[in-house]
Structure 1
Amino acid sequence: MAGLNAFGVAFARGDGAAPEVFTPIAHVTSVSGPGLSRNTIDVTTHQSPGAWMEFIGGLKDGGEVSIDVNYDPSDHDALVADFNDPDPRSYRLLFPDPAQTTWTLRSILTGFEPSAPVDDKLSAALTFKVSGAPVLA
């Protein structure tokens, strides 16, 4: 069988203590990211074989994690403190695979956008910028 059911993925917020305790963010409906990427450095010379451009790997970027939630001010407004904090905080992405894979990410909350349509549920879109290397376990 190929593929895994995504139901049960969690995105959790660290408390900053040692040892750190992670609490899942409530009512998550969708998680996207992190979008890992890597810059390249052009090392092409006049002697590059066949006049093909040549590259080496440059700096890596942890990208962003986006989550959508069924917005409940009593559950989510505490995250506004994270938005106001310029320092990265630990978050953890937990996957529902048999190995219970986790990605721990130092991140800055860069976007918090509630939505209140007249004919639908309260929702919010949150964006987290990853700082440094994700730790996979």
Structure 2
Amino acid sequence: MSGLNAFGTQLKRGDGQETEVFTAIADATGISGPGLSRETVDVTSHGSPDAWMEFKGGLKDGGEVSVDINYQPAVHDLLVADFDDDEPRNYQLVFPDDPTTPTTWSFGAILTGFEPDAPYDDKLSASLTFKVTGKPTLS
């Protein structure tokens, strides 16, 4: 099986309305995450077979989503407002695997990082970091 071209992957931001509409975050150049992880609970006892430690699955963490963008202040300043908001917003990560029914991860997240970069010899860009809250839904 060959790999899938990632070109066309989108991170979409929900508008928070009752019938939520999602709009792609413009000019994304790289998207990573969510970085799912899981804690473990040590259930080792004096009776553990052959003195091997034993574990069970613990709490899960949706991790973070990072996105790099070609920063356009007039377009992206609503994201700066998201940084000031304490409540999570809904987002979707949409993959380009199927043009009619693409694979989508939906999740709530809080914008925890917004870092613009303006080098004298390159494009204006920004790196955004979102902390996922709750369980991401894969559809």
- Please confirm whether the aligned pair reaches a TM-score higher than 0.5, indicating the same fold: yes
CA offsets, 1:84-109, max 9 Å, x none? 00010001100000240000110000
1:31-110 equivalent positions in 2, closer than 5 A: 31-98=31-98, 99-110=101-112
Gaps of 5+ in 1: none
Structure 1 residue 70: Cα displacement: 0.4
TM-score normalized with structure 2 length: 0.97
| Letter in structure 2 aligned against 1:82 | D
Counterpart Cα distance in 2 of 1:14 and 1:78 = 12
Counterpart Cα distance in 2 of 1:118 and 1:105 = 36
Counterpart Cα distance in 2 of 1:5 and 1:117 = 29
Q: Across the two proteins, how many residue pairs are aligned to each other?
A: 137
Aligned to 2:135: 133
State the percentage of identical aligned residues. Answer: 67
Q: Secondary structure at the match of 2:60?
A: strand
Counterpart Cα distance in 2 of 1:91 and 1:81 = 15
Aligned to 1:122: 124
Aligned to 1:27: 27
Gaps of 5+ in 2: none
Runs of 4+ deviating beyond 2 Å: none
